[in-house]
């Protein structure tokens, strides 16, 4: 019984790998920078998962999908004087 479970899980792994081979070809043909392509795909997937499939629209002025940094200005009058 145990050998059957191991064989079944190995076949499932091989089948999943075979199903993913066409995506490797897409990455080879479509991406100038493979790392950036895969990173952006992961970040898009993760953002979609965080917002339960309904992520907010990108804000203008963002860089690489990150929100712009908002700098806090110092108060005009020093506190305690």
The angle at the Cα of 56, spanning 24 to 49, to the nearest 5 degrees, equals 45
Helix-helix angle 2-30:34-50, to 10 degrees: 120
pLDDT of residue 23: 86
pLDDT of residue 26: 86
pLDDT of residue 75: 52
Sorted by where each begins, the domain ranges of the chain are: 2-50
Please state, in angstroms and rounded to a whole number, the distance separating the CA atoms of residues 7 and 10. 5
In this prediction, the residues of the chain whose per-residue pLDDT falls under 70 are 59-81
Please state, in angstroms and rounded to a whole number, the distance separating the CA atoms of residues 36 and 44. 12
pLDDT of residue 27: 87
């Amino acid at each position: 019984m145990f050998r059957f479970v191991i064989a079944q899980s190995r076949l499932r792994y091989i089948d999943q790998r075979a199903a993913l081979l066409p995506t490797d070809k897409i990455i080879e043909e479509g991406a100038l920078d493979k790392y950036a392509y895969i990173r952006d795909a992961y970040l898009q997937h993760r953002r979609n998962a965080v917002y339960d499939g309904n992520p907010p629209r990108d804000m203008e002025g963002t860089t690489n999908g990150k929100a712009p940094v908002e700098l806090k200005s110092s108060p005009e009058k020093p506190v305690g004087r």
